[in-house]
Structure formats: structure tokens, C-alpha cells
Amino acid sequence: MKTKEIKKIRYPSLNQIIRLYPNPEILLGHEIFWEGKEDGSNIGVWLDDDGMIQLRSRNQDKADDNFYEIFKQTEEYEKILEFLIDMRTQWHDECVVFGELLTKGRSPTRIKLYDKHKFIVFDIWSRKCDGLIPYMLVHQYCYHFEIPIVELYGTSKHITLKSLLRFRDKMLKVAKKKGTEGVVGKTFEKNVKFKYVKEKLDLPKIEKKPRHIEEGVIQLPSLPESEILGALDKVLVDIGHDRFKDVRESMPLFAKYVKIECKKHNCSCNEKLFKYYKQKLEDLNDKNNR
């Protein structure tokens, strides 16, 4: 895989269980691996075409230079370099190692104090698998190269949402006891990531709060007639009287201007625009016949 391709591999966005699409029940029947969520910076580590370590942040293909300096000072730098080289040369696989870069001092949310720079792996993306590989395989890789990996708090499989949420709360209690900011739940299918969820101690459990969700089309107020007429007059001004008489030119432009006004005023328009256009033509003819 070329550098310009692998550097685009991003870590997926994580959501709470209750916010999963199409619904939280999508996790039911799958074994979930519950890992501790460390309080650091999400960094992806990979090799470029020259065999040099490159870093990406959650949202940037190339992390800030400051992260490079910090990462090089960790005890894990050489070990991860060795792992990536081994995967490329011995197993003909390109990988991106994702982990938390823990910077010496107070953590981002100030819940921990680190005495040195450290990097803890939480996932590995594999080109051969074309995805993030299961925890068990990540653990094996990290074990053999003596690389720290996030702690596994437990595993579970559920047939009801109530049971799933109850076990999540149990895992959050473990996280609080261990001083981490929360947990990440992961399920896998065919040896790659299926669904990931993130539950943090500082996030509200919205499923326990009153909830009212309506489906269907949003009911917006109607666009005032004055705005419709104003849009029609703008068409006349823009293209002139002669071209205005050509319905094939005027009506699409009229509809476009009305749509712009709807967006501007957060309104909808269910009126038949042609009747306004027809009336405008009649008014113009009356003026010309006087």
C-alpha cells in the first residue's frame, strides 16, 4: 500500500450505545469486549514508503510536530517501530497502530497525573484484514513486542437491551475504580471491527431521562407570500421582460430563488408557484395594453 493511501486510514468516530444507528439493539447477540478508555490523545502510527515512522491525529493526516517529539521520548517508540517493520517485511502487511499518547503531567480531562510520556495501544488496523483487528490478536502482537495495551475489563453477550445497559453500568464502575475516563465496547465479525461504542463517566445516561422523539417530515412555517412575490420579481429583474415570458427559463429560476428564501427564513413553501408566475404575466400584459 502506498503512503498516500495508508495515511488516510482514520480511527472511527465512537458513539454511545443509545445513539447507535439504526438502534442500540444492533449490538445484541454479539460478543462485546469492554476495554478501559485512557485519557490521552488519539494517535495513529504507521510507516511511510521509506520506512520512517509517521503519526496522524484523530482529524489530521499528519499530527502536529509536538506529538512527534513526545512520541519519540516514549519507551514504546522503538518497540512499535520494530513491530511495524516486522509486519511489513516478514508478513507483508501494512499496519496502523492506534493508541493513546499520554503526555507527562495532567491528562486532557485532568483526571490523571502521568509521571512520563507513554503510548498505550488500543487498536491495530491491518491492510490484509482491511480493517481493525480483534482484541485477542492485538493483545498477542503487543505481548510479543512488549508493547502496553489498554486493559480488558470484561466481555459480554446480551439478548436484551436492558441487560446490555446494566452490564455497561457495571463496566463504568470498574473504570471509575481504576481511574480511567470510561470504557469502549467492541464487537467483531469475520475478524474485523463490526461496531464500537464509547461510554464515559462524564456523559449523561440519556436512556434514563424522559425522551420524546417524533418521526416524519419536519413541519416548518410557510414562507410569507411577500417573500414568494419578491423572489418572482427578482427573476423579472435578472432576466428582463422578454425572457421572463419564456416559462422554461423563468420557472426554474423562480423555484431556485424561492428555495433560497426558504432556507434563509427556515420556512417551507407548498404553494403552486406557477399561479404566481401566471398572475405576474397577466399583470405585465395589462400594463403593456394600457
Domain boundaries, position 139: 3-208
pLDDT tens digit sequence for 91-112: 999 999 999 999 988 877 777 8
Q: Are 257 and 234 in contact (CB under 8 A)?
A: yes
29: CATH: 3.30.470.30
Write out the DSSP string of 192-215: EEEEEEEEETTS--GGGS------
pLDDT surpassing 60 at residue 150:
yes
Q: Are 222 and 267 in contact (CB under 8 A)?
A: yes
- The count of structural domains within the chain is 2
pLDDT tens digit sequence for 129-139: 999 999 999 99
Which is more confidently placed, 247 or 113? Answer: 247
Among 175, 208, 241, residue at a domain's last position: 208
pLDDT surpassing 50 at residue 4:
no
Among 208, 239, 260, residue at a domain's last position: 208
> Is the residue at 215 inside a domain?
no
Which runs of consecutive H residues, i.e. helices, occur in the chain?
3-6, 65-72, 77-89, 135-144, 161-178, 225-244, 247-265, 273-289
Among 156, 174, 208, residue at a domain's last position: 208
Rounded distance between C-alpha atoms, residue 97 and residue 80, angstroms: 8
Rounded distance between C-alpha atoms, residue 46 and residue 82, angstroms: 11
pLDDT surpassing 50 at residue 127:
yes
CB within 8 Å of 21: residues ≥ 6 apart: none
Q: Are 90 and 68 in contact (CB under 8 A)?
A: no
Residues 276 and 174 in one domain: no
How would residue 289 be classed by pLDDT, with cut points 50, 70 and 90? Answer: low
Q: Of the candidates 117, 90, 78, 79, which has an alpha carbon nearest to the alpha carbon of residue 101?
A: 117
Residues 96 and 170 in one domain: yes
Q: If you count them, how many residues does the chain have?
A: 290
How would residue 287 be classed by pLDDT, with cut points 50, 70 and 90? Answer: low
Residues 139 and 103 in one domain: yes
Rounded distance between C-alpha atoms, residue 237 and residue 188, angstroms: 61
The mean pLDDT value for 49-74 works out to 92
